[in-house]
């Protein structure tokens, strides 16, 4: 195991991960558009690596650390409850699409063509479209609100939990 990060600034860490997610969306759209692209194997391996190593941590960072703290700290008229419920439901639909994408990505990663490219392309584009909308909410509404509502102690608690999560696995 290499590159285990020590999380010091948890909100910036989450935002940095969101930038990485945008690259994954672009990679999936590229794979969807161009069946048999020269770089399909390499691109599919990058997406699989992200799905396996990074995405589960990120979802746990949000669902187990960020969202519960926001629910405690937000004011009634912040609309936190609705936003968190929506984002958690989207994590769930992402998981379903993820499970459908992985077998095809493995085929591409092995240097082969997917039998039904149209189905893969539809799922890949759906995943990217949903993900971009999700990121717009998290970057545009959730993280700015977290910066206002979470205390320094909350951020330290989050940073410790996020670091621990990466060390345990």
* Residues at the site binding Fe ion, with contacts judged by CB under 5 A: 62, 138
The number of CA neighbours under 13 Å toward the Cβ of 19 is: 5
Q: Choose between 123 and 138: whose C-beta lies nearer to Fe ion.
A: 138
- Quick one: residue 111, left, alpha or beta (phi over 0 = left, psi -120 to 50 = alpha)? left
C-alpha closest to that of 71 among 62, 61, 80: 80
Q: Choose between 23 and 113: whose C-beta lies nearer to Fe ion.
A: 23
Instruction: Work out how close the CB of 125 gets to Fe ion at its nearest, in angstroms, rounded to a whole number.
Output: 19
Instruction: Work out how close the CB of 112 gets to Fe ion at its nearest, in angstroms, rounded to a whole number.
Output: 32
Q: Choose between 95 and 112: whose C-beta lies nearer to Fe ion.
A: 95
Q: Quick check: 114 and 57 in contact, CB under 8 A?
A: no
C-alpha closest to that of 120 among 36, 23, 50, 22: 36
Instruction: Work out how close the CB of 14 gets to Fe ion at its nearest, in angstroms, rounded to a whole number.
Output: 6
Give dist(CA 147, CA 125) in Å, integer. Answer: 32
Q: Quick check: 65 and 162 in contact, CB under 8 A?
A: yes
Q: Choose between 22 and 37: whose C-beta lies nearer to Fe ion.
A: 22
> What is the token pair recorded at 149?
């509502």
Total residue count of the chain as it appears in this document: 169
Q: Choose between 11 and 107: whose C-beta lies nearer to Fe ion.
A: 11
Instruction: Work out how close the CB of 43 gets to Fe ion at its nearest, in angstroms, rounded to a whole number.
Output: 22
Instruction: Work out how close the CB of 129 gets to Fe ion at its nearest, in angstroms, rounded to a whole number.
Output: 15
């Amino acid at each position: 195991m290499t590159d285990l990060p020590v999380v010091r600034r948890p909100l910036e860490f989450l935002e940095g991960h969101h930038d990485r997610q945008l690259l994954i969306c672009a990679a999936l759209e590229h794979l969807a558009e161009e069946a048999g692209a020269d770089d399909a194997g390499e691109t599919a391996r990058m997406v699989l690596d992200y799905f396996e190593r990074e995405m589960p941590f990120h979802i746990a960072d949000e669902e187990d650390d960020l969202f519960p703290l926001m629910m405690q700290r937000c004011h009634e008229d912040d609309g936190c409850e609705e936003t968190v419920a929506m984002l958690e439901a989207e994590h769930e639909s992402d998981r379903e699409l993820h499970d459908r994408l992985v077998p095809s990505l493995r085929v591409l990663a092995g240097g082969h063509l997917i039998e039904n490219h149209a189905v893969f392309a539809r799922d890949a584009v759906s995943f990217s479209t949903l993900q971009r909308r999700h990121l717009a909410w998290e970057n545009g509404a959730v993280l700015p609100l977290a910066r206002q509502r979470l205390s320094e102690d909350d951020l330290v608690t989050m940073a410790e939990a996020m670091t621990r999560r990466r060390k345990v696995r």
